[in-house]
Amino acid sequence: MTPTITVQADNIKFLSTGADGGHIYVKGNGEFENHGIIDIYAHFSTKEMEKEFKQEFKDGTYEFVSTRWDFMREIGLSLWEVIQWRLLN
């Protein structure tokens, strides 16, 4: 089990999948440990949170908190269960 992680991302783009009736997730860019600027994929923990994020979205830098995540240098950081998010600027 991975520890909870908090990361910041900007340049957010919306993506979607058809799995389980369809889900919205986002891709952005941010720094992670000593890997520099990487791709960050944020998958929300509920469909309600997906809708809320899309409705309230504004350009800027976001902070995401996730309880499950993994990092692969070739792909980036995947946040599998975002439980909180907020716009920083």
CATH of the domain at 36: 2.40.50.140
- pLDDT-derived band at 1, boundaries 50, 70, 90: low
Report whether 26 contacts 39 (CB < 8 A): no
In this prediction the pTM is 0.92
- pLDDT-derived band at 14, boundaries 50, 70, 90: very high
The pLDDT score that the predictor gives to residue 22 is 81
Give the structural domain span for 63: 5-87
- E runs forming strands in the chain: 5-17, 23-31, 37-44, 62-66, 69-72, 76-87
The pLDDT score that the predictor gives to residue 89 is 87
pLDDT beyond 80 at 21: no
Report whether 79 contacts 69 (CB < 8 A): yes
Number of domains in the chain: 1
What is the distance between the alpha carbons of residues 54 and 14, in angstroms, rounded to a whole number?
A: 8
Q: Which two tokens stand for residue 16?
A: 């979607």
The pLDDT score that the predictor gives to residue 17 is 86
Q: Report the DSSP beta bridge partners of residue 85.
A: 64
